[in-house]
Amino acid sequence: MANPVATTAVVEHETGGVEHHVEPSALGLGPGAWAALAMVVFLGILVWKKVPGVVVGGLDKQIASIRKQLDEAKVLRAEAEKLRAEYAAKIANAEKDAAAMLDHAKTEASAIVAKAEMDATAMIGRREKMAADKIGAAERAAVDDLRAKAAETATAAARNLIAKNHSAGADKALVDGAISGLVN
């Protein structure tokens, strides 16, 4: 009968030699059986202490946390898309407003230039009229001055002629004629 505690293993070598090893065993089980039995007992204890449930519960919590983070990320992405669309619309409106302001400014500038041209033309007309009036006034003043000088010259010439051609008797006849013309 075989030894219940140990078994013998025979190993042959390439050189032709045979070697005998003793394999340990206990209660008729070899080392592989004992390792399997220990693993089964260990797994049984884990199941008895509900370790798989705890592990699964922890994993479920992690899954729930990740799902919550994904949902929050989806909400944040939706808000970001909404803000992006809103700002894109604002930029488009700002560009339209800028174009409208530019057109309005061009229109106003054209109107201001046209008004300035009209005002300049009117001012030139007024200045020409003022210049013509000044020239006319200067001509009238020159004519009046010339007339006054002509009258003075004529008076002086008449005075000289009268003084040369009239005597005291001729003056008396003129005065008497003037007096008689007033009386009648």
In a domain, 60, yes or no: no
Structural domain including 37 reads 1-49
In a domain, 165, yes or no: no
8 A C-beta contact, residue 22 and residue 40: no
In a domain, 44, yes or no: yes
pLDDT value, residue 2: 43
In a domain, 21, yes or no: yes
* Contacts within 8 Å (CB) and 24+ apart, 45-50: none
> Which tokens sit at 127?
């200045």
**pLDDT tens digits, one per residue of 63-107:** 999 999 999 999 999 999 999 999 999 999 999 999 999 999 999
Task: Kindly write down the DSSP assignment for every residue of 16-66, as one continuous string.
Answer: S-EEEEEEE-BTTB-HHHHHHHHHHHHHHHHHHTTHHHHHHHHHHHHHHHH
Q: How many domains does the chain have?
A: 1
The three-class DSSP label of residue 144 is helix
Low-confidence ranges of the chain (pLDDT < 70): 1-13, 15-17, 184
The three-class DSSP label of residue 9 is strand
Cα atoms found within 13 Å of the Cα of residue 1, Cβ hemisphere only? 4
